Amino acid sequence: MKTDMNPEAVTARLKKTSELRRLCISLGGDRLRKKLGNTETLPDRMQQPPDRKKLRQD
C-alpha cells in the first residue's frame, strides 16, 4: 500500500492525528493531563522543552 505524500495529504493526516490526540487526552481526564504536565490546557509537547537528563541513558 502506498502512502500519498503530497502536501495536502500530509497536512490532512497531521490534522487528523492532532484531533485524535486531543480526543484521547480529553477522554483520559485530569489524571492524564497532570501526567503530561499541563493542567490548564491540552498539552502541546512542542511548547515544552524535553528534560535532557531524563532522555539520556548512559
- 2-58 confidence digits (pLDDT tens): 989 999 999 999 999 999 998 988 888 888 777 777 545 554 544 444 554 555 444
Residue 11 lies in a domain: yes
Residue 29 lies in a domain: yes
> What is residue 52's predicted lDDT score, i.e. its pLDDT?
47
Residue 57 lies in a domain: no
Q: What is the pTM of this model?
A: 0.51
Q: For the chain, what is the domain count?
A: 1
Q: What is the DSSP string of 7-52?
A: HHHHHHHHHHHHHHHHHHHHHHHHHHHHHHT-SSS---TTTSPP-H
Residue 12 lies in a domain: yes
> What is residue 30's predicted lDDT score, i.e. its pLDDT?
82
> What's the domain range around 1?
1-36
Residue 53 lies in a domain: no
> What is residue 1's predicted lDDT score, i.e. its pLDDT?
84
